[in-house]
Amino acid sequence: MTTSERVCRRCRYFVDDPHAVEQAFVGLTILSSAWGDTRGNQGLCIVHQQFLTPKLTCNHFTIRR
């Protein structure tokens, strides 16, 4: 796997499913949505507990099965 493929989008620790994102942020749906373009394909890294764009990488990368 090349470095460019070791990105959050392909990582098992990256939660970008809209339903899961809405579960993770209480109150998000009151005035916004995880199914909108402003959230887009960003997601939550459960290792770093950070909200990230999907093209980043880190030493904890583990391929998503």
Partner 1 sequence: MKRGLNLFKTEDYWAIWLGLLVIVIAVAFFWSGSTLKPWVVKPGSWSTLAELGSDFAKHAGGYVAILFGFGAVFALSMKVMGRDVRQFLLGFVVLFAGALAIFYLAGWSIMQKADLGAPLLALLVGLVIGNIKAMPHWIAASLRTEYYIKTGIVLLGATLPLTLIAEAGPIAFLQATIVSVTTWLTIYLAATRLFKLDPRFGAVLGTGGAVCGVSGSIAIGGAVRADKDHIAIGIGVVSVWAIVMIFTLAILTKMMIPLPTVGIAGTPAQVTPTGAWELSPAEAGAWVGTSEYADAAGFAVVAEIAEEHGDAAIYAFTLMKVIGRDIWIGIWAFVLSIVSVVYWEKKDDVNSPHGRVAATVIWERFPKFVLGFFAATILMSIIAAQAPEDRRGMAPMKGTFKSKAQKANYDADFSSFVVPQNLADRFIIDTGSGTISFVGKMSLPDLREILKTANSDQAWALKSLHHESDWYESVLLPKVIDPIKTLRSWAFVLCFLCIGLSTRFRDLMTFGLKPFWAFTIGVIVNVPLGFILTTKVFVDYWRGLQ
The contact set with partner 1 (CB under 8 A) reads 7-8, 18-19, 24-45, 48-53, 55-60
Least Å from the CB of residue 65 to partner 1: 19
Q: Which is nearer to partner 1, 7 or 10 (CB)?
A: 7
* Smallest separation, CB 10 to partner 1 (Å): 13
* Nearest-approach distance from CB 63 to partner 1, in angstroms: 16
- Report yes or no: 41 and 54 within 8 Å, Cβ to Cβ: yes
Listed as own residue / partner, the contacts of 45-50 with beta carbons closer than 8 Å and 24 or more positions apart are 45/8, 45/11, 45/13, 45/14, 45/15, 46/13, 46/14, 46/15, 47/13
